[in-house]
Amino acid sequence: MAVGCAVTSDPIAGGALAEPVRVRRLTDQEGQKLQQIVRRGSTSSVRYRRAVMLLASAGGNRVPVIAQLVQADEDTVRDVIHRFNEIGLACLDPQWAGGRPRLLSEDDEDFVTQTATTRPTKLGQPFTRWSIRKLVAYLRKVHGRAIRIGREALRCLLARRGVTFQRTKTWKESPDPDREAKLDRIEEVLDRFPDRVFAFDEFGPLGIRPTGGSCWAEQTRPDRLPATYHRTHGVRYFHGCYSVGDDIRRWARKRKVELCFTPTYASWANPVEAHFGPLRQFTITHSNHANHTVQTRALHAYLRWRNANGRHRDVLAAERCERARVRSEKGIRWGGRPLIEAA
């Protein structure tokens, strides 16, 4: 399959072109979190769409292509990318403004945040974690610094400071000794040979049991799927390929092909990952395929539609010229790193 990637540059004073907008290099934690949101979905459509934008940009896609992918305005995509480069994953959550002036000073808010992120046992409390009620009660009785705050105000304060109630987790750091070299090689081939590069990965596991999802329906009359959970057709994986060239198969037959492996635990660096989220959303969820053959045909039909409606050759050609100019003038590698720093 062949889907394009494009670049955009905004004119600035003097007729020069600004540097293409893209995310900085993702850390392992950021890449894994974005990949998790795109693969599994999110209860917040804003959070899901922003994750797709960031992961697509990290995969080498430019603003026009990302805007087509998520059906958003190009300025919105640029704002999300700039915001991520400033504050990281906090940009996934919208910041709604409004309300009366805050009654707590910055020092008081810092103290509340520090207390909430400290284990209660270190403060002489007989429990391992705070609840909102326990934290409110403790803050009112702190010796020498009593803080009166309501439960809802405390929730808003913690959310504003980026403190959320979550399960204790462990993160997988990439132990690959060649991590930087592999990422640099992926960056190089995406930038230097966009017409001869394709990315591939497995998409699955794919069962054929009815899968819940979402759709448009009359109010109080949801579309229902039969609860059929006794199909014994097994589980399959779909081989997904993301190509930025025209005819990869013909090219591969005539020339040698180099495989650029992603680092261990860093599959987010694969450009095809950003396209698996919409593929699952529009073909797997809210489906009731009779067998794997029907399911595969649905996947192929969606990909044919996506390839026919998501590529603009003129924009792709402009991207190549602009990318070459920016790289030669700025000396910036994948993720916006200077060449000296990367070395």
Instruction: Work out the mean pLDDT of the chain and round it to a whole number.
Output: 76
Residue 6 pLDDT class (50, 70, 90 cuts)? very low
Concatenated DSSP letters of 252-267: HHHS-----PPPTT-G
Domain ranges, ordered by start, for the chain: 13-92+176-342, 106-160
At residue 54, the pLDDT reads 92
Residue 44 pLDDT class (50, 70, 90 cuts)? confident
At residue 8, the pLDDT reads 42
Residue 287 pLDDT class (50, 70, 90 cuts)? confident
Mean pLDDT, rounded, for 21-26 = 88
Has residue 5 got a pLDDT over 70? no
Which of 26-30, 153-157, 292-296 has the weakest average pLDDT? 292-296
What value, to the nearest 5°, has the Cα angle with vertex 314 and ends 309 and 316?
80
Mean pLDDT, rounded, for 204-217 = 68
**Contact 112/147 with Cβ under 8 angstroms?**
yes
Radius of gyration of the chain (CA): 24
Has residue 330 got a pLDDT over 80? no
Has residue 184 got a pLDDT over 50? yes
Over the stretch 97-143, which tens digit does the pLDDT of each residue have?
666 677 788 888 899 999 999 988 888 888 888 888 889 989 988 87
At residue 84, the pLDDT reads 92
CA 321/CA 305 separation, integer angstroms = 28
Q: Which residue has the tokens 């305005």?
A: 73
What tokens appear for 154 in the block?
Answer: 């405390």
Question: How much of the chain, in percent, has pLDDT values that exceed 90?
Answer: 4
Residue 241 pLDDT class (50, 70, 90 cuts)? low
Has residue 53 got a pLDDT over 50? yes
Quickly list H helices, 230-291. Answer: 248-254, 273-283
Burial class (CB in 10 A: 0-12, 13-18, 19+), 49: buried
